[in-house]
């Protein structure tokens, strides 16, 4: 019985809101003037200009990302060359040391 009272109360509140309160607010006349229309047109134009600028910024960011990828590749190549030079120099130092020690014996 208690549950039936809650359901009926909920239905009553919803019925009151839908048919009693909401129509009070929806009966108001919308005052939309030509000035408002002109403002909206100006806002739309500005939004389109901002979208164009954002597209240009996106292109710049993509270009920067591409250049960073190229730089990163160059740095890997540079690190590989440096590593191979260091290994070569260390190898030559050991080889030279062994040949000098063999010459004295």
* Model confidence pLDDT, tens digit, residues 14-53: 776 766 666 555 556 667 788 888 999 999 999 999 999 9
Say what the pLDDT of residue 23 is: 56
Residue 103 has pLDDT above 70, yes or no: no
Q: Confirm whether 7 is domain-assigned.
A: no
Q: Confirm whether 47 is domain-assigned.
A: yes
Count Cβ neighbours within 10 Å for each residue of 61-84 and write b for 16 or more, e otherwise. eeeeeeeeeeeeeeeeeeeeeeee
**56-81 per-position pLDDT tens digit:** 999 999 999 999 999 999 999 999 99
Q: What is the domain count for the chain?
A: 1
Q: Confirm whether 9 is domain-assigned.
A: no
**87-96 average pLDDT score:** 87
Say what the pLDDT of residue 34 is: 86
Prediction pTM value: 0.49
Q: Confirm whether 73 is domain-assigned.
A: yes
89 versus 8: which is more confidently predicted? 89
Q: Confirm whether 22 is domain-assigned.
A: no
Say what the pLDDT of residue 40 is: 93
């Amino acid at each position: 019985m208690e549950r039936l009272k809650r359901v009926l109360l909920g239905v009553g509140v919803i019925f009151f809101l839908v048919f009693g309160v909401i129509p009070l607010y929806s009966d108001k006349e919308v005052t939309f003037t030509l000035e408002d229309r002109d403002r909206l047109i100006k806002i739309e134009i500005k939004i389109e200009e901002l979208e164009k600028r954002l597209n240009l910024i996106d292109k710049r960011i993509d270009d920067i990302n591409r250049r960073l990828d190229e730089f990163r590749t160059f740095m890997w190549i540079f690190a590989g060359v440096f590593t191979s030079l260091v290994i070569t120099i260390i190898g030559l130092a050991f080889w030279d040391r062994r040949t000098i020690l063999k010459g004295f014996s």
